[in-house]
């Protein structure tokens, strides 16, 4: 008898019952889906030396995240490959290890094309006894304007490249303003 009363109350209740899919839409209304696509696509050159001082850029998500965001990415593994890539291509951002970044920023091809050097700071260093210090990251951020922390989330890589593009545009505007 009690089961029949509960069933009658449920069946005769005028409450609105949503279908299965509508419940999911109701839950998702407050969630913002963010796209990784960038407002300004950049031409990015990754300098990935096989040997040398410091650690090479080995995060597998780095290149794929940049390509997914709409950036054109090319990798150079040797200094000769880097020089030929800089001479033949027009790159907006050159991403390299923090130890290689100061030399790259002074390179003739980088200066001529007004490319922004984006240094990579390693939060963890599996092949080295300790990661790069926070003071290294802070000084690199002051010197270059922007750094990318490796390993990181794909969105952080794209945000760092976007910030580097903003720096490049500011440099171009200030150089045009100086030329009357």
Number of domains in the chain: 1
Residue 129 is predicted with a pLDDT of 46
Q: Which of 159, 150, 167, 58 is nearest to 105 (CA)?
A: 167
**Cis ω on the peptide bond leading into residue 151 (within 30° of 0)?**
yes
Place of tokens 């609105």: 16
Q: What is the pLDDT of residues 28-47, one digit of tens each?
A: 555 555 555 667 788 888 88
Task: Return the DSSP state at 34.
Answer: P
Domain hosting 92: range is: 43-178
**Residue 74, token pair as written in the block:** 């090319």
Residue 25 is predicted with a pLDDT of 57
CATH number of the domain that residue 141 is part of:
3.40.50.2300
**Cis ω on the peptide bond leading into residue 51 (within 30° of 0)?**
no
Q: What is the pLDDT of residues 70-126, one digit of tens each?
A: 888 888 888 888 888 888 878 888 888 888 888 888 887 777 777 888 888 776 554
For the beta sheet containing 93-97, the strands, ordered from the edge strand earlier in sequence to the opposite edge, are 72-76, 43-47, 93-97, 116-122, 148-150
């Amino acid at each position: 008898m009690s089961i029949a009363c509960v069933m009658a109350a449920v069946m005769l209740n005028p409450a609105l019952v949503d279908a299965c899919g509508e419940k999911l839409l109701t839950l998702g209304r407050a969630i913002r889906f963010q796209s990784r696509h960038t407002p300004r696509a950049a031409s990015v050159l990754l300098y990935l030396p096989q040997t040398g001082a410091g650690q090479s850029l080995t995060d597998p998500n780095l290149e794929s995240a940049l390509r997914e965001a709409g950036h054109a990415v090319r990798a150079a593994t040797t200094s000769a490959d880097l020089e030929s890539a800089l001479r033949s291509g027009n790159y907006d951002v050159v991403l390299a290890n923090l130890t290689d970044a100061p030399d790259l920023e002074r390179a003739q091809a980088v200066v001529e094309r007004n490319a922004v050097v984006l240094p990579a700071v390693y939060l963890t260093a599996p092949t080295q006894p300790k990661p790069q210090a926070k003071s290294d990251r802070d000084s690199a951020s002051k010197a270059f304007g922007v750094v990318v922390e490796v390993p990181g989330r794909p969105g952080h890589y794209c945000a760092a490249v976007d910030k580097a593009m903003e720096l490049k545009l500011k440099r171009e505007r200030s150089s045009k303003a100086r030329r009357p």
